[in-house]
Structure 1
Amino acid sequence: MKILHLYRDLWVDGGIPYQTRCLIEGQIKTGSLLVSFAQKGNSLETWPHLLHPNHSSVVTSGLNSLFQLREILRAHKPDIVHITGLWIPIHQLWAIEVSRAKVPYVVSTHGNLSPHGMEVRFGEKKQVFSRILAKKFWHRFFDLPLLQNAAGIQVHSPYEMDLVKSAGLQNIFIVPNGIQSEWVGSYDDQPRKLHNPITFLHLGRLDIYHKGLDLICQALKGLVQSGHSQQVKVILAGPGVKDSRDVLKRWAKQIGNGILEIRDGVWGKDKDNIWRETDYFLNLYRYAGMAIAPSEAVAKGIPLIASREGHFGDWAADSGFGIQVPLDGEKLLKTMAALLNLSESDYQDLSKNALRFAKTYTWDKVANDVVHAYQRLLDLGRFKELG
């Protein structure tokens, strides 16, 4: 099968670009012929599979990319095209070019349909009301037609499937983001054991609203007020966003010394050490795709406390490697309080289930599942021209 991947940000830093490259690498291993096409970024040396004989890449910019895409479609004659992500204007034009070439395309949404994500701009982006209106307008009149004319839509969780179905869309297939096989395994091949105090971790950008850090701090404050200050510790580790680090440090001072720790981002041995001191990973994201840090936590056998909106909640509950919680500080408080009394054997069952999930959904397995989904869609023969 000849597959063409289209993603403007394929070569830039970030979770979704990294995960898309992992998917492409896995598909190369299936024997598929791969072509990738990106517009922004030029970090080609960071991807060792660039020179794979079944893979070629074009990095371009501006509207000239349409002419280059047209030439690639003619030269490679792909069986199917995979478009990664919504809200990206050039993707609309690329999809029109693909449909005019009579090639079916698939779209992976990567959390872009989350209602919370439409209400708030993430990271350092300025919160401007007109931008929110523009995003909703774009979603209604551009993203939905893009999805409606797709041969298929890849979602990463049952929550995301519910969002897609609520828009009246069909031909949906669920395949989660994968996990690097080299991440998988508990340290020293020993079962994980609970610490004293029980330690909860958030690792990633300290974006208070996006990552639900306000809910975590609210729940932790309630635990302390109910007499659990000696039993619990929360670590929030990662780079700050705007003034988030100052806000979190102020909250930590109010909660109590040593109970809430605000740390910098960690890599290498420091990351290994933080996994060792962690009992549970807090994945209370209000919106996002399946992020890298919780995936790595699962690979280390660390159970998740996860929201549906962060796309791990359903998987954690269904596969028994964590607890699904709503985006509610009081309910998170009750969940964390219950986990403080969980037995060692019950905790190790959660940990074993996390490792089992990680071993099941490696990138090689995920890539193979996505290729099989392509084939099913091609067998259906569903294709509509866009534009």
Structure 2
Amino acid sequence: MNILFVTEDHSIRNYGITSVVSQLIDQLSINYQDVNVIILSMGSETVKQNARVKIVLVPHSKLGRFWGWSKNLSKTIKQTIEKEKIDIIHIHGLWMAAQWAALNSAKKYNLPCIVSPHGMLEKWMWNYQKQFQKIKKEIYFNRIFKPALSTETIFHVITPIELESLNRQLPGYHKITIPNAVDPSSCQFNIEPYKLEKQFLFLGRIHPVKAVDLLIDAFIQANLGSEWKLIIAGPEYIPYYVEELKSKVLSSGMENRIIFTGAVYGEYKFNLIQQTWALITPSHSEVMGMVNFEAAIQQVPSITTHETGLWDWEEGGGLLIHPNIDELTAALKIAAEWSIKERIDRGRRSFDLVAEKYSWQSVIPKWATLYSSLVENSNKIM
């Protein structure tokens, strides 16, 4: 079975989506020798994959960069489908040229096609847009994206919340729910309890959907002891928003306790997580959030929101809140009062929950079954 994965950006800069897609692809390649995966991505950079995985990169055209367009895009997809004898296409994302071109190719060849929106159609994401941007997206969604769909298109959702959203916006299309996952064995926990820092960590894109502004306000309002710090680590996607956040910190006089590190990767990122008291992901909209899993496998509990769809998170030692200042402030105070013993216990419970319910060992068979069933019932034209 030959699967073509299509994404607008498979570089490390695409953060969460690249992490999810990269792990799924490697797990398929490692566990199923009869499955061959080809990645087609826009741009000139990619993360490292298993040696069995083929990668096709399509550089952007200068004038089409805003939409991720290239004059060679459709041609390259066509050539890849024919050369690699593709059986099924799995598209990640919605709004860029790569997804649109892949949908049209799937329709042309009558190939089964899975679309994973990764939370891009959630209600908050629509409502956050300025009116002009919202109108543009509505036109694109209804006049360009939907007509590119076929009867062979199914939608993959990550949580029941996302399923409800897509049932409302895309009625009549088949959906399947498969959660995100992580490999618990990929991390070696090696931090001693006495080395835990009295710090909270936000790790992710610095974007309004992540509610970093609420987190800063809550940390200030919590009025914790002077030994407590808030580390904000991640790429600064929206300059004006980042400037507002940094101005807020300066106005509070807490610039020595609320620290922006910029994007972090690799070993430095994992060390930063391991020494953290608790991870904080107060997103307005999120489909689980891979960073919650990454923290859990390092035995670091997290405070996250009901909106992530992680309904069982508190069973694993984490805390669930709604994204508002009062609930976030209260959660920070509760976490700061944990004893070392309770903090360690919550970290271990987080690990156990993820290992049991959100590991690739339990999730990857669901993907293999889905791909196989779609290919067996397809009527592809080749």
Is the structural similarity TM-score above 0.5? yes
More displaced, 103-112 or 250-259? 250-259
Inter-CA distance 304–102: structure 2 relative to 1 (3 Å threshold): same
TM-score (ref. length: structure 1): 0.79
Which residue pairs with 1:166 in the alignment? Answer: 168
Q: How many residues align?
A: 365
1:152 corresponds, among 151, 154, 160, to 154
Alignment of 1:1-12 (within 5 A): 1-10=1-10
Which residue pairs with 1:177 in the alignment? Answer: 180
Alignment of 1:240-255 (within 5 A): 240=236, 241-255=238-252
- The root-mean-square deviation of aligned C-alpha atoms, in Å, is 3.5
More displaced, 155-164 or 59-68? 59-68
Which residue pairs with 1:132 in the alignment? Answer: 134
- How far the C-alpha of 1:260 sits from its partner, in A, is 3.7
Q: Is the 8 A contact 1:280 1:304 kept in 2?
A: yes
Q: Does 2:75 align with 1:79?
A: no
Q: Which runs of 5+ in 2 are unaligned?
A: 60-69
Q: Percent identity?
A: 20
C-alpha distance in structure 2 between counterparts of 1:87 and 1:67, whole Å: 20
Q: Is the 8 A contact 1:298 1:354 kept in 2?
A: yes
- How far the C-alpha of 1:239 sits from its partner, in A, is 4.3
Q: Is the 8 A contact 1:306 1:312 kept in 2?
A: no
Inter-CA distance 259–339: structure 2 relative to 1 (3 Å threshold): farther
Q: Does 2:305 align with 1:278?
A: no
Inter-CA distance 269–23: structure 2 relative to 1 (3 Å threshold): closer
Q: Which amino acid aligns with 1:155?
A: V
More displaced, 209-218 or 260-269? 260-269
Q: Which amino acid aligns with 2:371?
A: Y
Secondary structure of residue in 2 paired with 1:210: helix
Q: Is the 8 A contact 1:23 1:367 kept in 2?
A: yes
Q: Is the 8 A contact 2:156 2:176 kept in 1?
A: yes
Residue-by-residue CA offset, 1:177-204 (whole Å, 9 max, x unaligned): 332445434324x6x579685x321123
Which residue pairs with 1:56 in the alignment? Answer: 54
Inter-CA distance 251–113: structure 2 relative to 1 (3 Å threshold): same
Residue-by-residue CA offset, 1:307-335 (whole Å, 9 max, x unaligned): 244x3643524x52412211211222233
- How far the C-alpha of 1:383 sits from its partner, in A, is 8.4
- How far the C-alpha of 1:131 sits from its partner, in A, is 2.5
Which residue pairs with 1:14 in the alignment? Answer: 14
Q: Which amino acid aligns with 1:263?
A: F
Inter-CA distance 314–165: structure 2 relative to 1 (3 Å threshold): farther
Inter-CA distance 231–171: structure 2 relative to 1 (3 Å threshold): farther
C-alpha distance in structure 1 between counterparts of 2:348 and 2:99, whole Å: 41
- How far the C-alpha of 1:275 sits from its partner, in A, is 2.6
Secondary structure of residue in 2 paired with 1:264: strand
- How far the C-alpha of 1:300 sits from its partner, in A, is 1.1
Alignment of 1:220-259 (within 5 A): 220-224=219-223, 228-229=224-225, 232-240=228-236, 241-255=238-252, 257=254
C-alpha distance in structure 1 between counterparts of 2:184 and 2:283, whole Å: 25
- How far the C-alpha of 1:345 sits from its partner, in A, is 4.9
Which residue pairs with 2:206 in the alignment? Answer: 206
- How far the C-alpha of 1:67 sits from its partner, in A, is 3.5
Which residue pairs with 2:63 in the alignment? Answer: none
C-alpha distance in structure 2 between counterparts of 1:295 and 1:72, whole Å: 34
Which residue pairs with 2:114 in the alignment? Answer: 106
Bigger relative contact order (CA 8 A; separation at least 6): 1
Q: Is the 8 A contact 1:212 1:285 kept in 2?
A: yes
- How far the C-alpha of 1:172 sits from its partner, in A, is 2.5
Q: Which amino acid aligns with 1:41?
A: G
Residue-by-residue CA offset, 1:124-161 (whole Å, 9 max, x unaligned): xxxx6423211122223444555674543222223222
Inter-CA distance 255–145: structure 2 relative to 1 (3 Å threshold): same
1:302 corresponds, among 300, 308, 321, to 300
Q: Which runs of 5+ in 1 are unaligned?
A: 122-127
C-alpha distance in structure 1 between counterparts of 2:379 and 2:305, whole Å: 35
Which residue pairs with 1:339 in the alignment? Answer: 335
